[in-house]
Structure 1
Amino acid sequence: MGRKAKHTKVDWIVAAFKTLGEEGIEGVRVERLAKDLGTTKGSFYWHFADRPALHKQMLDFWEQEGTKRIIIELDDTDLSPNEQLRALAQTAVQTEIMKLDTIAIEGALRAWAGQEGWVADRIRTAENARVEYVEQLLLSIGHNPIQATLLANQLYLMLLGFYSISRHDPKKIHRDAFIAFADQIAEDRSL
């Protein structure tokens, strides 16, 4: 019977995301991650069959933690749809989660999607779920279906713009503008 791995699967995934944000997917190499974690490659193979398996698990983790978990947690609150939308907007502009630079990671994920079609498919699926959730909140707030669809897409595009500009020009006003728009559509049904 083998020894228990010192580092968990999540440790490896978090290390991979840190490297992804710093160097892109090309930098996410077993040797590099093992060095960063202060362990051997054997620990990696305890959790993953190979590098492509890690890549798949990274996207699974990103989708679960960055989309599904947030939606479930918001749905499990007593917040009104207006308050849920505001809370979602605040969560979306967090620049650090689990000691990871979310701005760099979101940009690197989309760069990776530009290189590999299966990654683009996975990201598109998660993004569609995010937009559909916002659309449902807007419908619950009282926006008509056409408005809800347009505003949900606008808000998501603004978020992607926030991620993009924050990499080279991280001004508080960019965050504030995104939050203000979310607040506005949470209240004003005439948009």
Structure 2
Amino acid sequence: MENKTVKSPVPPEIETTADRRRVPRTQLDPGRWVAAAIDVLAREGIAGLRVEVLAKRCGVTKGSFYWHFKDRRALFAAVLEHWKLGRIRDIEKTTAFTPGEEFARLNYVIEVYGANRNRKGMDIELAIRDWARHDAGAAAVVEAVDLYRLECTRKLFVAAGMSDGEAKSRSLLLYACVFGLSLMHYDPFDSNLPQLKQRIAERIVAA
């Protein structure tokens, strides 16, 4: 009779001992692997995303990884999808508005993205963008997120009474400003940075 290899129903991180009695250890689901990968990506970039590194960081064997992912590329795809969906949710939440409050919401968008309160979030964003410089799949995901960002704010400017052409230019200007500020060291440039940023915001959203 032909012998067939049957995949164990138990992930490697909780596989049994020699006598087949289960001895639970740390159990990881795909989401935990993706979260660990994103943390490494933010710190070390795409070059740091190695199965050995992640397994050691999570305190499990490489076998655990291959239980959940076919290969390293499958993990990469999961990381990109997780980041994309997370960005889209945040964009929708940030740009949601009630009719009549468009300008207030546009100022809020600038405040949220310009505040740079989430350093880790920016590190992840920069790591993803650096990855996109060398990988077509990552580039496609970044492009999709950027276009969604621009489209959501374009709709806000249109709802505020601007023409489509003007709305597009203001939308691009808005993100060029907030992302540019996140990359620059400008604290000594002005003694009252909050006021300076407010003047910039007023120019971007002015009717």
Q: TM-score, normalised by structure 2?
A: 0.73
Contact 2:153–2:171 (CA<8 Å) still a contact in 1? yes
Partner Cα distance (2:31, 2:168) in 1: 35
What residue ranges of structure 1 are gaps of 5+ in the alignment?
none
Offset at 1:131? 0.6
Contact 2:92–2:152 (CA<8 Å) still a contact in 1? no
AA of the residue aligned to 1:69: R
| Residue 89 (structure 2) pairs with residue 69 (structure 1) | yes
| Residue 159 (structure 2) pairs with residue 140 (structure 1) | yes
The share of aligned pairs that are identical, in percent, is 28
Offset at 1:64? 0.6
| Residue 122 (structure 2) pairs with residue 114 (structure 1) | no
Partner Cα distance (2:27, 2:97) in 1: 36
The RMSD of aligned alpha carbons is 2.9
AA of the residue aligned to 1:2: V
Provide the residue aligned with 1:2 in structure 2: 10
Contact 1:107–1:164 (CA<8 Å) still a contact in 2? no
Provide the residue aligned with 1:16 in structure 2: 37
Shift of the 42–76 alpha-carbon distance from structure 1 to 2, 3 Å rule, reads farther
Partner Cα distance (1:57, 1:29) in 2: 14
Q: Deviations over 1:147-176 (max 9, x none)?
A: 2110100111123313322xxx38498985
Q: Deviations over 1:81-130 (max 9, x none)?
A: 3333334334434443xxx7122221111111111122112211110111
| Residue 123 (structure 2) pairs with residue 104 (structure 1) | yes
Partner Cα distance (1:181, 1:2) in 2: 57
Q: Deviations over 1:132-154 (max 9, x none)?
A: 11111111112222221101001
Shift of the 170–132 alpha-carbon distance from structure 1 to 2, 3 Å rule, reads same
**Which deviates the most, 7-16 or 51-60?**
7-16
Shift of the 170–85 alpha-carbon distance from structure 1 to 2, 3 Å rule, reads same
* Alignment coverage as a number of residue pairs: 181
Structure in which a larger fraction of residues adopt helix: 1
Larger Cα Rg: Structure 1 or Structure 2? Answer: 2
| Residue 43 (structure 2) pairs with residue 35 (structure 1) | no
Contact 1:106–1:163 (CA<8 Å) still a contact in 2? no
Partner Cα distance (2:143, 2:41) in 1: 19
**Which deviates the most, 11-20 or 155-164?**
155-164
Contact 1:34–1:44 (CA<8 Å) still a contact in 2? yes
Shift of the 34–87 alpha-carbon distance from structure 1 to 2, 3 Å rule, reads farther
